[in-house]
Amino acid sequence: MEMVLVTGGAGFIGSHSVDLLIESGYRACVVDNLSTGRRENLNPKAGFFQVDVADLPSLKKAFEEAKPNFVLHQAAQVSLANSFKDPGFDASSNILGSINVLECCRLFSVKKAVLASSCAVYGTPDKLPVSESQPAKPASPYAVSKLAAEHYFFHYGKIPGFDCVVLRYGNVFGPRQSLGSETGVVSIFLQKMLEGKQPTINGDGTQTRDFVFVEDVARANLLALQKSTKCKALNIAGGRKSSINQVFSELTQATGFTQGPVFGPAVPNEVGHICLDIALAEKELGWKPDFSLRQGLKKTAAFASQS
């Protein structure tokens, strides 16, 4: 069985990816510093190294012991707000950490690596839906660091025998996303609703996002390792616009929450609308989402209410 090393494998998306890999007949090992990842997310059949990807000597030891054939690079600083507060740490985690992972891939003859990137690299799009050919216009240190990591992946992808794929995720949600996490409006709303408190919608709630369920993302990660796609960036999203008001309404039905939202001031310079074109992912990977927004939100709410 081939071995897949998953950085950030104790985190939200990473842990779902590890579970799917093991279900699909792969061996897996996790590299995670547990700063945001959780031990309870670790699959008991996976190996585990408590290592920060910014620590190259320790990362090399993990690669040397695990001997991976493939790498899923999920570890990252993911908070947009924190990237403004501490851009140096953001760069250390997302740029230097990615370089360290790629160096280990080179040193230990990994066949293929997949980078978890973000639709944030597009900034405010010129037109919708956003295709991979549209220019990147990162508007935050987080988006800059993700775009830089992409370029490093493509640079290393020129090495003979090594391949890479970059997946630009939409707004991922689902079980194991930390409740109240500032990186996800679904988790923020759920925490408030389960506490019997009114969630706050910034602005009028008509702004739209492209939501994608975490199990669909994990499947995209797996396919990116399996398919012959080489050195490409692919959008992984629902391929649909959903308003924040719509998300709130769906969650009230899923949770039985009966109160309305509180409307607060709009977030300055926030992207108003985004929707990703996912045709290339379907062409290259044979991937498209299985879960509708409603199905994903129901499953997420059920998990959160039992946690």
- CA geometry: angle 96, 123, 190, nearest 5 deg: 85
* β-strand pairing of 242-243 with 208-209: antiparallel
Euclidean distance between CA atoms 184 and 173, whole angstroms:
7
209 sits in the region (left: phi over 0; alpha: psi -120 to 50; else beta) called beta
Residue 136: phi and psi, rounded to 5, are: -80, 135
* CA distances (Å), origin 289, targets 127, 158, 166: 22, 30, 17
Contact status, residue 58 vs residue 51, Cβ threshold 8 Å: yes
Contact status, residue 186 vs residue 213, Cβ threshold 8 Å: no
The DSSP code for 95 is I
Per the annotation, the verdict on 152 as an active-site residue is no
Euclidean distance between CA atoms 288 and 256, whole angstroms:
30
Contact status, residue 21 vs residue 222, Cβ threshold 8 Å: yes
**Cα dihedral sign for 142, 179, 209, 261?**
negative
CB atoms inside a 10 Å sphere around CB 254: 20
The string over 74-83, giving b where at least 16 C-beta atoms fall within 10 Å of a residue's C-beta and e elsewhere, is: bbbbbbbebb
DSSP secondary structure letters along 180-228: T-TT-HHHHHHHHHHTT-PPEEETTS--EE-EEEHHHHHHHHHHHHHS-
Q: Which of 26, 122, 142, 169 is catalytic?
A: 142
Euclidean distance between CA atoms 147 and 89, whole angstroms:
16
The amino acid at 29: C
**Residues labelled as active-site residues:** 142
